[in-house]
Amino acid sequence: MEKMICHFWWGSSTDSRKVHWIKWQKICKPKRNGGMGFRELRAFNEALLEIQGWRIINHPSSLVAQVLKAKYFPKEQFLQAKPKQQMSYTWRSILKASWIIKKGCYWTIGSGEDVDIWQDNWIHQKGYQAIINWEESTVTTATSSSAMPTNIWQMLWKLNVPPKHSHFIWRLLNEAILVKGNLFKKGIRCDPLCPRCYNQMETSHHVFLDCVWAKQVWFASPLTINLNECQFANLNDWVLHMFNQIDHASKELIAATPYGIWYAMNLLVFQEKNLPPNDVSHIAFAQLQEFQRHNVKTQNIVKRNLSTGSSSNNTCWSPPPRGILKINVGAHLSSDGHWFSGLVLRRWDGSAIAAATRLRTGSEAIVQGEAYGINDALDLVEKLGISKVIIESDSQIVVNSVKEKRSIRRSWGKIIQRWIVFLRNNPHSSISWVKWVGNQAAHVLAKWAENEPNKDWMHTVPLFGRENHSSTSATVIGRELKPLDDRTD
In tens, the pLDDT along 400-420 reads 889 988 877 677 788 889 999
User: Angle of helix 396-403 relative to helix 366-384, nearest 10 degrees?
Assistant: 60
56, 65 in Cβ contact below 8 A?
A: yes
DSSP letter string, 12-46: SSSS------S-HHHHTS-GGGTS-----HHHHHH
Cα gap 466→484, rounded to integer Å: 8
User: Angle of helix 63-72 relative to helix 89-96, nearest 10 degrees?
Assistant: 90
In tens, the pLDDT along 89-139 reads 888 898 888 888 877 776 666 666 767 767 666 654 443 444 455 554 444
Cα gap 354→384, rounded to integer Å: 10
Query: What residues pair up with 433 in beta bridges, in sequence order?
Result: 393
Name which of 352, 444, 447, 428 is nearest 387 in CA terms.
428
Phi then psi for residue 154, to 5 deg, are -65, -40
319, 326 in Cβ contact below 8 A?
A: yes
In tens, the pLDDT along 237-294 reads 898 888 888 888 899 999 999 999 999 999 998 998 999 999 999 999 998 988 988 8
Confidence (pTM): 0.53
CATH code of the domain occupying 315-476: 3.30.420.10
Ranges of each domain in the chain: 2-33, 41-137, 150-302, 315-476
First to last CA, the chain: 59
Name which of 169, 145, 166 is nearest 157 in CA terms.
166
- Residue 166's Cβ-side half-sphere holds a number of Cα atoms within 13 Å equal to 19
Name which of 223, 286, 218 is nearest 258 in CA terms.
218
DSSP letter string, 427-471: TT-EEEE--GGG-HHHHHHHHHTTTSTT-EESSS-EE---TT---
pLDDT tens by residue, the chain, 489 residues: 777 777 777 775 555 567 777 788 888 888 888 888 888 888 888 888 888 888 898 888 999 899 999 999 888 888 888 888 888 988 889 888 888 887 777 666 666 676 776 766 665 444 344 445 555 444 433 333 345 677 888 889 999 999 999 999 998 988 888 888 888 777 778 888 888 988 888 889 999 999 999 999 999 988 888 888 777 878 888 988 888 888 888 999 999 999 999 999 999 989 989 999 999 999 999 989 889 888 776 666 555 554 444 444 556 788 899 889 999 999 888 877 788 999 999 988 888 888 999 998 766 677 888 888 899 999 999 999 999 999 999 888 889 889 988 877 677 788 889 999 999 999 999 999 988 888 888 888 988 888 888 888 876 566 553 333 333 333 332 333 334 444 433
Contact residues for 402 (Cβ-Cβ < 8 A; gap 6+): 374, 416, 419, 420, 423, 431
